[in-house]
Structure 1
């Protein structure tokens, strides 16, 4: 069986993850909901990864309702799951959590105070297999205005300064990450050309931030996605 990758908007795809999959000849199937692709049943796959997009997990659209149902089924079947940004919020929503507006929008690599966004892995979670061979804290890219409230089904693995609930875990093998570790330079330029929130910011400054973090960011993304693929038994 292969890995199911779900894109909520065409431009937000696997990036660094796709490079790992191709290097290791791992079979994967990409579904682009933005392009009208149908969402398959999760039990036909070894693992599921859902990426971000401009939708809200609170939207009453067929697209989001079907996505929530698919994620809930995957978790109920104990299929390894990784959600990025919206994919993290839909994971939480599928488990009964509240998704709401965050106190501040987190956009780019740096907050308004000039500090890089980062996540701090909490306590015993530093030993979780998702974080194997990763440092602490981890710098991260953000593009979101909503957050989640925790429930007794959701463990908080990593926190942030401006949005507390950053990385979560459900059951033994389902994870959600509020920010992005998948960006490649090519993908980032597409986002800068098309994302309305990024277009409000200084493009040159964003590119400079990305360039300064490039090696650290790429290594962390490669390690994190590789760790998840090992959890899923695909690597």
Structure 2
């Protein structure tokens, strides 16, 4: 029986990202919903085995002011309340945190995290992240950890980098799904972000990808297998 993965996207265009490709390669049928284009999110009984909620240019701190994001917050609360597998990436993690009553806000010193930065495991997080690694980031807000969640990884600019709710419900502040092509597209489409405090230059990001892109991809494969199998 073919398994189904729901992919919730906040952009306008489909991206050939690493998470989607790995899920497809593991036999999942991909159901992609573009909420900013007006796509509705499915009912819980539509048969999806897991859900990935991606990043986007929206601000989770303003979600209640945007109709489709407010509806998404309610949907996420229902989904995770039913104990369904959820992986939130960047905005998707922030939306998960907001749905559970946690705060999402800008860095207190006005810093942004754009480019490769080190992520370090907490003692509880070593089973998911065995050792520190450099991950790709592109965000200006960070999340508090929801009540009852486990903090799995921390960073030096935005402290909270990964958390887990019950079982297979994860939020990641960083972007393991980004391909080299996506990174180039983001740096072109949102080049103004490279001028923000704390952001790495195009040259720094390209150099970072040479060192860290493949190790991050290897970690992602192991993480997804663990998530899919419920280990």
Give the whole-Å Cα distance in 2 for the aligned partners of 1:28 and 1:137.
31
Residue 221 of structure 1 and its aligned partner are, at CA, apart by 2.3
What does 1:73-112 correspond to in 2, within 5 Å? 73-103=78-108, 104-109=111-116
For 1:157, the equivalent position in structure 2 comes to 152
If asked which structure has higher relative contact order (CA below 8 Å, sep 6+), I would say: 1
User: What 5-or-longer segments of structure 2 have no aligned partner?
Assistant: none
Distance of aligned partners of 1:207 and 1:63 in 2 relative to their CA distance in 1, 3 Å threshold: same
Q: Which moved more, 1:51-60 or 1:193-202?
A: 193-202
Q: Deviations over 1:7-66 (max 9, x none)?
A: 111357461112212222211211112333222224421111100011112221111101
For 1:36, the equivalent position in structure 2 comes to 38
Secondary structure at the counterpart of residue 49 of structure 2: strand
For 1:180, the equivalent position in structure 2 comes to 175
Give the whole-Å Cα distance in 2 for the aligned partners of 1:231 and 1:151.
21
Indicate conservation of the 8 Å contact 1:14/1:51, yes or no. Answer: no
What does 1:187-198 correspond to in 2, within 5 Å? 187-198=182-193
Secondary structure at the counterpart of residue 90 of structure 1: helix
Indicate conservation of the 8 Å contact 2:24/2:30, yes or no. Answer: no
- Provide the aligned C-alpha RMSD in A: 2.0
Residue 136 of structure 1 and its aligned partner are, at CA, apart by 0.8
Indicate conservation of the 8 Å contact 2:7/2:51, yes or no. Answer: yes
Q: Deviations over 1:155-188 (max 9, x none)?
A: 2111111111110111222110001101112222
Give the whole-Å Cα distance in 1 for the aligned partners of 2:66 and 2:175.
24
Give the whole-Å Cα distance in 2 for the aligned partners of 1:174 and 1:120.
20
Task: Tell me the number of residue pairs that the alignment of Structure 1 and Structure 2 aligns.
Answer: 220
Secondary structure at the counterpart of residue 211 of structure 1: helix
For 1:227, the equivalent position in structure 2 comes to 226
For 1:148, the equivalent position in structure 2 comes to 143
Give the whole-Å Cα distance in 1 for the aligned partners of 2:214 and 2:53.
25
For 1:62, the equivalent position in structure 2 comes to 67
Give the whole-Å Cα distance in 1 for the aligned partners of 2:112 and 2:223.
24
TM-score (norm 2): 0.87
Q: Which moved more, 1:57-66 or 1:174-183?
A: 57-66
Secondary structure at the counterpart of residue 50 of structure 2: strand
Distance of aligned partners of 1:3 and 1:18 in 2 relative to their CA distance in 1, 3 Å threshold: same
Secondary structure at the counterpart of residue 27 of structure 1: strand
Indicate conservation of the 8 Å contact 2:51/2:86, yes or no. Answer: yes
For 2:122, the equivalent position in structure 1 comes to 122
TM-score (norm 1): 0.85
Give the whole-Å Cα distance in 2 for the aligned partners of 1:214 and 1:108.
11
